[in-house]
Structure 1
Amino acid sequence: MQFHLNGFKPGNYQVPDAARKPYPNPPIVDLPRKVDVLIIGTGPAGLTMARQMAEFSDIKTCIVDMAPGPLLFGRADGISCRTIEIMEAFNSSEMVVKETYQLKQNTFWEPDAENPQNIKRTHKIADARAGLSEFTHGIVNQARLHELLIDGMANAIANLRPHYSRELVDLDIDESLTQDLDAFPITATFKRADEAGAGKVETVKARYIVGSDGGRSRVRKSLGISLEGDSANKAWGVMDILLNTDFPDIRVKSFIQSKDHGAVMTIPREGGYLCRFYVELDQIDKDKRASDMKLTEQDLIAKAQKIFHPYTLDVKEVAWWSIYSVGQRIADRFDNRPAGSSDDIVPRAFVAGDACHTHSPKGGWGLNTSLPDTFNLGWKMAAVLQGRSDPKLLSTYSTERRKVAQQLIDADRELSKLVATRPTAGEDAQESKVDTGKIEAFMKRQSGFVSGTSIEYFPSYICTGQENQHLATGYKIGQRFHSAEATRVADGRSQHLGHLVKADGRWRIFLFGGAVDPTKPASAAYQFIDFLANGTTSPVQKYTSNGSDVDAVIDTYAVFQQQDLSMHDLHGYLWPAKGKYGLRDYEKVFHAQDGNDVYDLRGIDRSNGCVVIVRPDQHIAAILPVTAHAELAGFFDEFMIQQK
Structure 2
Amino acid sequence: MQFHHHGYVSGDPRVLPAGVGERPAELPDEVDVLIVGSGPAGMLLAAQMSQYPGITTRIIEKRSGRLELGQADGIQPRSVETFQAFGFAERIIAEAYNIGWMNFWGPNPEKPDEIVRTTRTADYAYDICEFPHLIVNQARVLDYFAEAALHGPARIAPDYGVEFIGLEVGEDAVEVSVRTAGGDRRIRAKYVVGCDGARSGVREAIGRTHVGGVSAHAWGVMDVLVNTDFPDWRTKCAINSEAGNILHIPREGGYLSRMYIDLGEVAADDDHRVRQTPLEEIIRKANAILHPYSIDVKEVAWHSVYEVGHRVTDGFDDVIDDSGRTPRVFLTGDACHTHSAKAGQGMNVSMQDGFNLGWKLGSVLTGRAPETLLSTYGAERRPVAQQLIDFDKEWSSLMARKPEEISDPTELATFYLGTAEFPSGFMTQYTSSMITGTDAHQELATGFPLGKRFKSAEVVRVSDGNVIHLGHHAKADGRWRVYAFGDRDGTRLASWADAATPVFARFTPTDADADAVFDVKAIDQRPYEELEVTTAPELFRPQTGPLGLIDWEKLYASGPSKWTDTDIFEARGLSRDGVIVVVRPDQYVAAILPLDDVDELSGFFEGAFLPA
TM-score band, normalised by the shorter chain?
over 0.9
Mean Cα deviation higher: 456-465 or 215-224 = 456-465
1:369 corresponds, among 339, 349, 359, to 349
Matches of residues 234-253 of structure 1 in structure 2 within 5 Å? 234-253=217-236
1:188 corresponds to: 176
CA distance in 2, matches of 1:53, 1:347: 18
Counterpart check, 1:120 vs 2:121? no
On the 8 A contact 1:418/1:435 being kept in 2, the answer is: no
Q: 2:103 and 2:322 mapped to 1: Cα distance?
A: 46
Q: Where does residue 306 of structure 2 map in the other structure? A: 324
Name the CA distance, whole Å, in 2 between partners of 1:436 and 1:346. Answer: 51
Q: What CA distance in whole angstroms lies between the structure 1 residues aligned with 2:297 and 2:55? A: 49
- Looking at structure 1, the residues matched to 116 and 309 of structure 2 have their Cα atoms a distance apart, in angstroms, of 30
Q: Alignment partner of 1:503: what SS?
A: coil
For the Cα contact (< 8 Å) 2:119–2:413, is it kept in 1?
A: no
Matched, 1:54 2:34: no
Task: Give the equivalent residue in structure 1 for 2:470.
Answer: 497
1:336 and 2:304 are equivalent in the alignment: no
Structure 2 match to 1:600: 570
The one of 196, 200, 207 equivalent to 2:190 is: 207
More moved, 279-288 vs 144-153: 279-288
Could you say what secondary structure the match of 1:548 adopts?
Answer: coil
Q: Alpha-carbon deviation of 1:228?
A: 0.6
2:606 matched to which residue of 1? 637
Does the 8 A contact of 1:133 with 1:453 survive in 2? Answer: no
Q: Contact 1:477–1:623 at 8 Å: present in 2 too?
A: yes
- Give the counterpart letter for 1:377 in structure 2: L
Q: Which runs of 5+ in 1 are unaligned?
A: 1-27, 178-182, 423-429
- Measured after TM superposition, the shift of residue 292 of structure 1 is 5.1
Superposed counterparts of 1:526-537, under 5 Å: 526-533=494-501, 535=502
Q: CA deviation digits over 1:77-122, x for unaligned, max 9?
A: 0111111111111111111111111111111111111010100111
In structure 1, the partner of 2:204 is 221
2:583 to 578, 589, 614: 614
Deviation digits for residues 268-302 of structure 1 (CA, Å, limit 9, x no counterpart) = 11111111100001333447565653222222111
> Which residue of the partner structure matches residue 419 of structure 2?
446
| Secondary structure of 1:414 counterpart | helix
For 1:285 and 1:462, locate their aligned partners in 2 and report how far apart those are by CA, in whole Å: 48
Shift of residue 435, structure 1, vs aligned partner: 5.3
* Match of residue 21 from structure 2: none
Tell me the distance in 1 between the aligned counterparts of 2:594 and 2:43: 38
State the secondary structure of the residue aligned to 1:300: helix
**Tell me, what secondary structure is at the counterpart of 1:225?**
coil
Q: For 2:164, give the aligned amino acid.
A: L
Aligned partners of 1:99, 1:72: CA distance in 2, in Å?
Answer: 16
Letter of the 1:297 counterpart: L
1:547 is matched with: 511
Higher mean C-alpha displacement, 569-578 vs 34-43: 569-578
TM-score (norm 1): 0.88
Distance 2:588 2:516 in 1: 19
Match of 2:339 in 1: 359
Instruction: Tell me the matched-pair count.
Output: 583
Question: Which of the residues 448, 454, 477 maps onto 2:450?
Answer: 477
Opposite residue 216 of structure 1, the aligned amino acid is: R
Mapped contact 1:235–1:290 kept (Cα < 8 A) = no
> How far does residue 436 in structure 1 lie from its aligned partner after superposition?
4.4
Contact 1:279 1:304 in 2 (8 A): yes
Instruction: Give the match's secondary structure for 2:547.
Output: coil
* Distance (Å, rounded) in 2 between the aligned partners of 1:358 and 1:381: 24
State the shift of 1:341 in Å: 5.8
CA distance in 1, matches of 2:323, 2:344: 33
| 2:116 maps to 1:136 | no
8 Å Cα contact 2:274/2:305 also seen in 1: no
2:256 corresponds to: 274
1:168 corresponds to which residue?
164
Q: CA deviation at 1:460?
A: 1.9
Cα offset, 1:339, TM superposition: 4.9
Is 1:149 matched up with 2:149? Answer: no
The equivalent position to 1:584 in structure 2, one of 538, 550, 560, is 550
CA offsets, 1:418-444, max 9 Å, x none?
A: 00036xxxxxxx974485423222222
Q: Deviations over 1:502-533 (max 9, x none)?
A: 11111110011121x22xxxx21111111122
Q: Aligned pair in 2 of structure 1 residues 293, 546: CA closer, same or farther (>3 Å)?
A: closer
1:491 match: secondary structure: coil
The amino acid across from 2:188 in the alignment is K
In 1, Cα distance between equivalents of 2:455 and 2:508: 27
Aligned residues of 2:373 and 2:434 also touching (Cα < 8 A) = no
- The corresponding residue for 1:567 is 533
Q: Is the 8 A contact 2:275 2:306 kept in 1?
A: no
What letter is aligned with 1:541? A
Distance 1:296 1:189, change over 3 A: same
Secondary structure of the 2:441 match is helix
Aligned residue number for residue 262 of structure 1 = 244
Matched residues in 2 for 1:413 and 1:341: separation? 35
Contact 1:472/1:604 (<8 A) preserved: yes
- Matching of residue 392 in structure 1 with residue 354 in structure 2: no
Matched with 1:11 is none
Going from structure 1 to structure 2, the CA distance change for 1:365 and 1:89 (only over 3 Å counts) comes to same
Amino acid of the structure 1 residue aligned with 2:596:
T
Q: CA deviation at 1:458?
A: 1.4
2:432: which partner in 1? 459
Which residue identity does 2:468 align to in structure 1?
A: Q
1:73 is matched with 69
Secondary structure at the counterpart of residue 591 of structure 2: strand
Q: Structure 1 residues 44-53 or 292-301, which shifts more?
A: 292-301
Q: Distance in 2 between matches of 1:282 and 1:629?
A: 61
Q: Which whole-Å CA distance do the structure 2 matches of 1:301 and 1:74 have between them?
A: 21
User: Post-superposition shift, 1:128?
Assistant: 2.5
**What is the TM-score with the length of structure 2 in the denominator?**
0.93
Which of 487, 498, 509 aligns to 2:460? It is 487
Deviations 1:216-268 (A, max 9, x none): 10100111111111224321111111111111111111111111x11001011
Question: Retained in 2: the 8 A contact 1:418–1:434?
Answer: no
> How big is each residue's C-alpha offset from its partner over 1:447-472, in whole Å with a ceiling of 9 and x where there is no partner?
11111122111122322231211111
Matches of 1:291 and 1:367, distance apart in 2:
27
- Post-superposition Cα deviations, 1:167-214, rounded to whole Å, max 9, x if no partner, equal 21221112xx1xxxxx3x21111123xxxx2x7112211000000101
Mark the CA change 1:64 to 1:609 in structure 2 (over 3 Å): closer, same or farther. same
Q: Bigger shift: 541-550 or 356-365?
A: 541-550
Which residue of structure 2 aligns with residue 524 of structure 1? 492
C-alpha displacement of 1:134: 1.3
Distance 1:247 1:449 in 2: 30
User: Structure 1 CA distance, aligned partners of 2:323 and 2:95?
Assistant: 45
- The unaligned stretches of length 5 or more in structure 2 are 1-23
Assess, with a 3 A threshold, how the Cα gap between structure 1 residues 446 and 490 changes in structure 2: closer, same or farther: same
How far apart, in 2, do the equivalents of 1:98 and 1:267 lie? 18
The answer as to whether partners of 2:246 and 2:262 remain within 8 angstroms in 1 is yes
Contact 2:214 2:307 in 1 (8 A): no
User: In the superposition, relative to structure 1, how do residues 456 and 341 fare at CA in structure 2: closer, same or farther (>3 Å)?
Assistant: farther
Alpha-carbon distance between aligned partners in 2 of 1:498 and 1:35, rounded to the nearest angstrom: 33
Query: Deviation of residue 340 (structure 1)?
Result: 5.1
Quote the RMSD (CA, aligned, Å): 1.7
**In structure 1, what residue type is equivalent to 2:570?**
D
Query: Alignment partner of 1:346: what SS?
Result: coil
